[in-house]
Structures are given as C-alpha cells and as structure tokens.
Amino acid sequence: MNLTDYGFLPQMYSTDAEGTYARVIAVHKGHYSLFTEYGECSAKLKAGVYFNNCTEEFPTTGDFVEIQYNTKGESLIIKTLKRKSKFARNDSSGHGIAYAKTIKDQTVAANFDFVFIMQSLNHDMNRKRLERYLALSWQSGALPVVVLTKTDLIEDYSATLALVKQVAIGVDVHAISAKTGYGLEGLADYLKKGKTVVFLGSSGVGKSSLVNALAGKVVMSVQEIRENDSKGRHTTTHRQLVRLESGVMVIDTPGMRELGMWNVSEGLDESFSDVKSFLGRCKFSDCRHENEPGCIIRMEIENGGIALERWESYLTLKKEAAFVDDKAAYLREKDHQHVTMKVWERQKKKDARNNNRH
C-alpha cells in the first residue's frame, strides 16, 4: 500500500521537499501516528519548526505532513501541508505571530471530503445543534451530509426527517441503522476509494458503530449509553483516521462537548441560505432588523417567509462568530440584541391582545 491509497494526490508533491510524505492517522499526547510509504510509524514535531514562536501549524488527524523518516526510532515531522478542508476552533488569519502560537493547535481534523453530521433519532435529535453542525461543516470546506441513526429504535420518524430536511437546506439527509444495516447502501456515493469522511455528533449517537458496520468488523470500540439519562460515555477519546478495505478513509471523532464557540462566520452563508436571501433588501442598508421602517426581515417573519426560530438561530450563531473575533464587541451586541428582541416580543403580545379585544 502506498500514500495515494491514503488520499495523497500527485499535486501535493513539491520539488523542494526536504523529506518524505505521510498522513496523520492519530494525534496522541506528544506524538503522532502516521501512515508513510514504509507503513505506519510514530513521529514527533521538529522543535525548530513548530515551537519557539514558529508559525508552522500543528498537524492534526487527516493532515498530510513532510517528515524525516527514521528507520530506528521516532520520525520527525518538519512541515504541515496546506489543507483542503479543516475544522478549526479559531482562525489564525489576521493575527500576529505571538498570538498564532497559542491558537495554532486548534485544528481538530483536516483534509476530508464529506462531513457526516450524525444525530440519533431516538434521543439526540436537536434542531439547534444541527444548525450549529451545519454551519461548522460548511465552514470547513467539505460537503455536509446529515445521517440520522438508530432507525431500528423508532417506528415512525417521518416528522423528524421532515424537520431535518427543512433545516438542512441543500444537504442530503439519510436515515440509517448500524445495527440492522438499514440505509447503509444510500451512503455509497460518499464512501469512495481515496475519499475521506469525518463523523461528527454527540457521544452515543453511533459514530463508531457506523465505522464498524461499514468495515464489516470491529475497528473502533463501542459502549452502551448510560441508562439513566441516555447520554453517551465518551467512548472514543481521540480522533482517528481509519482506512476501510473499500479504500475510503473515515475520521471517527469523540462526541464534541465544546461545539459552542467555533468560528462559523463563513459557514453561515450556506447553512442559512433561506435567511440570507432576504438580507440586504431592507429599505435602509444599515438596517438592524429591529424596528426600522421598511425592514424586510421583520416583514417576512410576520408573514411566515422566515421562521422566527431560524432567525433567532442565525442571530445566535452570528453573534458567536463575532465573539471569536472580538469578545468585548460581542458582549455589547448580545446585550443590545437581547433587549430589543424582548421589546419586540412584548410589543407583539400586546398587539395580539389588542387585536383579540377588537
């Protein structure tokens, strides 16, 4: 097997490369598991390249790296190749070198083609979380796909499916069961040789179970969810890239607890295309969509053109994206938005009461 079997493309070769190439299959404390032309090996970062105020980005699972291969011991990683997609908690662009040092290890998966956003039909389905995942996935540069799991536990999930399709605009939605194999053939389009798919979702939704079902054997460990509150047990503890016999690569991730404060500013355009299509059409170009005359957004919310909860989700995620850039500005804005939303809601209730009286 060679590195092209792990997704390496000829255009990634550089004539001035100082070493050989590898793909990161897992990140551990202090060292990395890599796949190389010579098979799997362990490696660490070259200090003079990655530390001491150097700006080279720390590698993450899925990254292609340049290494000095060592036949006798740990190899040395000397360069992180440019990523085609990534999940990043923050974006280092625009920040100085000193700051970059503290945030350059914030990328948690890289170089994937598809993101499977996984929620379980029996317990985990949550619209707001789905919106967050969708924005994050669009932002990553890969294509999101929604995978609803555990169909075998639910008799009729048609209402959930309809809701998800409403939120996941322009995104394929699949319902599957890793237990019975239901719906797995519908995923074939994404599971092609040389492609990489990353699985995202809360603990216990069945990410590792799906990896095993696709592999046809146990490659990831799976644990019963907790009986008292149906929560997962955070069984998968680090991100791992697994190559299946079909040639597709899967990055299984631990259920992410801290999905809140990720930079999703660019992903919002795609995931909220329904809301976005009305933006910029108000009478005033600097309309804040509060009480201004000629506000198209408010008008569409009144008329049902935009669902109020979609608008609120959009505002929430937009504010969080702003937070990533500027904490202070975020707090001021949050206060202001909160107050005006409350005033607006109170006014609506008052109007409704008045209307009922007449």
Ligand X SMILES: Nc1nc2c(ncn2[C@@H]2O[C@H](COP(=O)(O)OP(=O)(O)OP(=O)(O)O)[C@@H](O)[C@H]2O)c(=O)[nH]1
Which residues here bind ligand X, judged by CB under 6 A? 149-150, 152-153, 177-179, 201, 203-209, 222-225, 232-236, 254-255
| Binding footprint of Mg ion, residue count (CB under 5 A) | 4
Please, what is the minimum distance in Å from the beta carbon of residue 9 to Mg ion? 29
The beta-strand segments (E) located in 218-322 are 240-243, 249-252
230 binds, among ligand X, Mg ion, none (CB under 5 to 8 A by kind): none
149 binds, among Mg ion, ligand X, none (CB under 5 to 8 A by kind): ligand X
Q: How far apart are CA 126 and CA 106, in angstroms?
A: 26
If phi over 0 gives left and psi between -120 and 50 gives alpha, with beta otherwise, what is residue 70?
beta
Strand pairing report for 75-80 and 39-45:
parallel
Q: How far apart are CA 68 and CA 78, in angstroms?
A: 7
Q: Angle of helix 308-325 relative to helix 327-357, nearest 10 degrees?
A: 160
225 binds, among Mg ion, ligand X, none (CB under 5 to 8 A by kind): ligand X
Which of 75, 85, 236, 263 contacts Mg ion by CB under 5 A?
236
Please, what is the minimum distance in Å from the beta carbon of residue 307 to Mg ion? 33
Please, what is the minimum distance in Å from the beta carbon of residue 31 to ligand X? 22
Please, what is the minimum distance in Å from the beta carbon of residue 161 to ligand X? 16
149 is a contact residue toward Mg ion (CB under 5 A): no
Amino acid sitting at position 324: V
Q: How far apart are CA 97 and CA 101, in angstroms?
A: 6
Binding window for Mg ion (CB under 5 A); candidates: 193-201, 204-212, 286-294, 321-329: 204-212
209 is a contact residue toward Mg ion (CB under 5 A): no
Which of 202, 235, 313, 337 contacts Mg ion by CB under 5 A?
235
Please, what is the minimum distance in Å from the beta carbon of residue 299 to ligand X? 42
208 is a contact residue toward Mg ion (CB under 5 A): yes
Going from the C-alpha of 81 to that of each of 14, 84, 191, the distances in angstroms are 10, 9, 24
Smallest CA-to-CA distance from 27 within 66, 62, 54 is with 62
249, 197 Cβ separation under 8 angstroms: yes
Interaction site with Mg ion (CB under 5 A): 207-208, 235-236
